[in-house]
Each structure stands twice: as structure tokens, then as C-alpha cells.
A and B are shown apart, each in its own frame.
Chain A
């Protein structure tokens, strides 16, 4: 019995060891393969992500650049089917809408931001901050139908004012957050220095703290402007769009994103080309504003003072 059982056990040990060694080799090899595959997948996903962006930009520039011309920037649309015309009225319309939006969004946003920074930690401040984030996350189309319900329906007509106010509502949370963060960064010692000179609290907040935080707040405001300048959904039933030149806040007005939309879904090739041109202009506008915003902060904290 001993000899018979002993030999199989000796064989089992050595083959078990061999088995372990073999398993280890396989696992190591397999682990290496897995590692290679996953790491490559990671590189690949970076490429796949960069791809659509580059594709879109290239296509945009190619298609849009050919249609952008002097008339595009200076003329309103011509009747459907006829060649020529431009989106000049839409560009002006976007500027007007953004101006209305800023008139509402900036003061409220800055005021709310100052409140949040100075009342930090109180229950009211925490609630307002949370609700500001909620407001920020609302779909822009919901803001659009709200603005319609409140500003268009009772008055029975579309208006630039309604569109501008809808955009302004969207700007508020962005400007509030930027103001709060930039104001918090201002050192308490600066505030104390002003108080010690006999500045009242409100004077300190405005003339010293706000003034010091201003570059950052301007950046935040520009980011907010870039965001709302590209919005379409809140405008389609408030500002509604306009074929002609219009500067009145009480009448419907064209806007670049809306024109792009209506041209894109139209059946006319010429209008498709103009849609690309409009998209190029809009994108350029948004990018330039965003870059300007980033630049403003960098220059401020660079060498030398103002």
C-alpha cells in the first residue's frame, strides 16, 4: 500500500508544481495580452474622441468658408429658392438678444454671487446654491416654453424681449457661480484693510472685493455669453425669428442659431450652404469669446499689475 500510494503522490507533487508553473506562464502571458489590449483601447478611445471633433471642424470650415462672403455678413435672407442673401440680420439679432440677456443675467448673477460668498455656510446660501445648480441643469427647451407661457401667450406676439429674458434666465446660474468663486478667493486681509480705513461694509464689498474679483467675474460672464449665444431651443417660440432687419425688442427677431436651424432643415441646397456658413460664424464667435475669457484671467495674474 505504501509503495503504491507513495509513488502516485510523488508524481502528483512534481506534476502539480509543473502545473502551477504552467498556469503561471499562461496567466502571465494572458495578463500581458490583456494589459496590451486595454492600454491600446485607451489610446484608441482618445483617437476616436478626437476624430469627430476634427471631422466636424474640417467639414465646417470646408463647407462654410466657401459660402461666407461679404453679402453673407451684410444682407438679410432673400426669399426661398432664390440665390444670394445672407444672415446679417440674424447676427445682429444674436447681439441684441445677448445684450438683453446680459442686462438681466449679469446684475442678478453678480448680486446673487456676492450674497453666496458673503453669507457662506448659512442655510439660505446653501439652498440658493443648490437651486442655482438645479436651474442650470434645466433643459433649455423647458425654459423656452416657460418664457412662451409667461411672455408670449398673454401678449399674443413673439418678441426679442421674451427671447432675451429666456436667455438671461439661463445666464444667471453661470454668472452666480463665477462671482461666488472669484469673490471667495479675495483674501480677508484685503477686506479688513478697507474696513480699517473707515470703509462701510457695502463699500468694501463693491469698491474693494468686487473690484479685485472683477477679471474673474468678467471671464465667467463671457463664458455665460458664449453659452447662450449658441442656444436655439429657448428662442424658437419666443424670439421666433425674422426674415427682415429688426431692432425692436417688442417684435420677433432673427438669431444666428435659429437661422442655421431653419436653413438646415429646408430642402434648398443654397440654404444648406448658408447654414454651414452660419455655423462657421457661430462657432468662431463662441470659440473666440471662450478664448478671450481664458486669456483675460491669464493676463491679469501674469507679470505686473494693471
Chain B
């Protein structure tokens, strides 16, 4: 079994265990346009945090900053600080690839690798682990099975692990992507509107999945669907025009939000 992420990174000395992800005064730019403005909040380990807000409010961009995917776009830029288990992920000498091994991501549309089988897709993240952490073939098979079970895909896939991944249905492919993200045992998983392109049944299965996973993984999910956020998250962040308007317990956000704008959004007056 690959070593857990935290053991690979030295946490600085602190009284209380450091928060899993802490974001401080984050600005994100595309060229000269600032799409995330001065956002700060903290995510505790094993929490599920939902980020909601109308289209274009910057929630996806914010999410992509956390695993350093934002900078893969030309002219994209980040200012401010994001700490993962106390360590600055934008620090000098920190490679984005290493960050992404500890902070996984699932995208809106399923993206299985078309030239690989189901098994190889799930194991794809394992192939690029540093030499010392790379599992043997036996271990890989075990990890693949475990990941597929956690993603609730094992029963449907176990008899055709060598089949092409693109032969699966949309919902199955998305669960495959979740399994793929889980295989490397990341500490955090980022979900960017993971059910937006799925039918209601697949959506429900994925939501159940997310709810169960919180016992092992910290989850940050961006969603356009408020009911979804209400169902599965512990805390909710509401963003508008790039700013973090309110960050509070989910219950509070949807029953008694403090900011009038949050209230306007969650009661459906705009969005």
C-alpha cells in the first residue's frame, strides 16, 4: 500500500493539527482579469465543503487553484497563499505534480483515457508515483479493486477490467474517474460539478459515494445544485463575482444565512 500523503510531507510543529487546506487572500487571474478576489477560508480534515454560487462567480477557478490546475492555462496567474497541511503549495521547489498527487480532482465531464482499459485507467495515477512508492503488480490489482469498490463500480466492472474504458456509460465513466482519483489515496479530493452531465440515477449514486467517502478523505465540491450541496456537505461557501460572501455550516447557510446576498441566492431569487 502506498504511504499516505501526510507521511510524505513534513507538517510544521503546531499545537493543534493543522487544517487540511487553508486559503488566504487568494487572487486568481486570467491575464489581467481577476476572477477570484481575496478569498480566505479553511477546510478541516475529513470535512465535506461545498462551494456554491451563480455561473461565472469563480468557484471552479478557486477549486482549480487548490490543486494548481489553474496555472496550466496560459496567462493564468495566482496570488495569495494556499496551505495544504500547513505547507505552502505554491512555495519554491514544490512541484505541481507532487501537489496533485495528494490533492486529486474529478472533472465535470468524465474523462477516461480512451486508449486504456478500465483497470489501467484506475491504475493510471499509480504509474507516476515516485519510484519508492510505486506498488507492485499484485498490489496494483488490489488497489484497483479497492478503488472500484469505493467508487461503487466494482460489481459492474469486475468481469471486464481489460475492456476499453470508453465502452462504459456516462455515469459509469464518472465513477471510473472517481475510482481513478481514489487509487492514489489522496488526502483531498476536489470535485468540479461532478454530476452536472449525469442522469438522476447516476447523480444519486455519486452523491451517496461522496457522502461515504468523507470518512476517509477531505472533500471540496463545487456544485451548481443547491440541493446537492445541502444534502452532502458539512460546510458551504457562497461565492459571488469572485468574492467569498459567506462560509458557514451548511445547515446555517440554507436556513439562516447572515448575508442578504447569500439569502437571496439560496432562496432562489437569482442564480
Residues of A within 8 A of B (CB): 187, 189-190, 192-200, 203, 207-208, 211-212, 214, 304-306
Contact = CB atoms under 8 A, between A and B. Distances in A.
Contact of A192 (B69, B97, B129, B184): B69
B116 to A, nearest CB: 8
A61 B218 CA distance: 72
Contacts of A196: 67, 69, 100, 104-105, 107, 181
Contacts of B19: none
Nearest to B164: A305
A207 B115 CA distance: 10
B98 interface: yes
Nearest to B127: A207
A198 B177 contact: no
Contacts of B100: 195-198
Contacts of A304: 164, 167
A197 B98 CA distance: 9
A197 B167 contact: no
B114 A305 contact: yes
Interface of B: 67, 69, 72, 95-98, 100-101, 104-105, 107, 109, 111, 113-115, 124-125, 127-129, 163-167, 177, 180-181, 184
A305 B104 CA distance: 27
Contacts of A197: 100-101, 104, 124-125, 128, 180-181, 184
Contacts of A192: 69, 72, 107, 111
B72 A195 contact: yes
Q: Of A190, A197, A199, A306, which is in contact with the most chain B CB atoms at under 10 Å from its CB?
A: A197
Given A195-B100, A304-B164, A189 B109 contact: yes
Nearest to B114: A212
Contacts of A187: 111
A192 B110 CA distance: 12
Nearest to B168: A305
Contacts of B95: 200
B260 to A, nearest CB: 36
Contact of A203 (B67, B107, B128, B163): B128
A183 to B, nearest CB: 14
A200 B98 CA distance: 9
B67 to A, nearest CB: 6
A195 B184 contact: no
Contacts of A208: 113
Given A190-B113, A212-B114, A305-B167, A195 B69 contact: yes
Contact of B164 (A194, A203, A306): A306
Contacts of B72: 192, 195
B113 A193 contact: yes
Nearest to B72: A195
A141 B180 CA distance: 54
A198 B164 CA distance: 22
B111 A190 contact: yes
B130 to A, nearest CB: 10
B165 A193 contact: no
Contacts of B97: 195, 198-200
A198 B184 contact: yes
Contacts of B124: 194, 197
B47 to A, nearest CB: 21
Nearest to B126: A197
Contacts of B181: 196-197
Nearest to A186: B114
15 contacts: A189-B111, A190-B113, A190-B114, A194-B124, A195-B96, A196-B69, A196-B181, A198-B97, A198-B98, A199-B128, A200-B128, A211-B115, A212-B115, A305-B114, A305-B166
Given A197-B128, A198-B98, A199-B128, A189 B184 contact: no
A211 B100 CA distance: 22
Contacts of A190: 111, 113-114
A120 to B, nearest CB: 10
A212 B164 contact: no
Contacts of B69: 192, 195-196
A200 B184 CA distance: 16
Given A190-B113, A195-B96, A196-B104, 8 more contacts: A189-B109, A189-B111, A190-B111, A194-B113, A194-B124, A198-B97, A200-B128, A305-B164
Contacts of A198: 97-98, 100-101, 125, 128-129, 184
Nearest to A190: B111
A190 B107 CA distance: 10
A190 B67 CA distance: 17
